Amino acid sequence: DTGVSQDPRHKITKRGQNVTFRCDPISEHNRLYWYRQTLGQGPEFLTYFQNEAQLEKSRLLSDRFSAERPKGSFSTLEIQRTEQGDSAMYLCASSTEDRPLYGYTFGSGTRLTVV
């Protein structure tokens, strides 16, 4: 499979617990993005990496959120002390820097439900 993989597909957690999601981008893609999407809304940008460097973080990304891409390959997104408002689909996308006209490839997402 040469697409973007995300794990898990679904996560149900109790409020206050920590969760971690993983994204494996397309192997030759050096850029990796995290987005969040709630029902009826377009994807909201959270953060992005070029190789292992985190180049931009949205103001939406509170201190409870942290993302890493330690070796410039897969990435993790951790949410600490989850709140009900964190319930959303978390989407990962990847692209190559030199192909901005070709858009991004998204993974299937991780649907988080905080109860």
Partner 1 sequence: RKEVEQDPGPFNVPEGATVAFNCTYSNSASQSFFWYRQDCRKEPKLLMSVYSSGNEDGRFTAQLNRASQYISLLIRDSKLSDSATYLCVVNMRAGNNRKLIWGLGTSLAVNP
Residues that bind partner 1 in the complex, under the rule CB under 8 A:
33, 40-45, 48, 55-56, 89, 91, 100-109, 111
Question: Smaller CB distance to partner 1: residue 79 or 89?
Answer: 89
Instruction: Quote the DSSP letter at residue 41.
Output: S
Question: Smaller CB distance to partner 1: residue 80 or 106?
Answer: 106
Q: Is 61 in a helix, a strand, or coil?
A: coil
- Alpha helices in 11-115, H assignment, sequence order: none
Provide DSSP, 73-97: S-EEEEE-S--GGG-EEEEEEEE-T
**Nearest-approach distance from CB 25 to partner 1, in angstroms:** 14
Question: Smaller CB distance to partner 1: residue 65 or 104?
Answer: 104
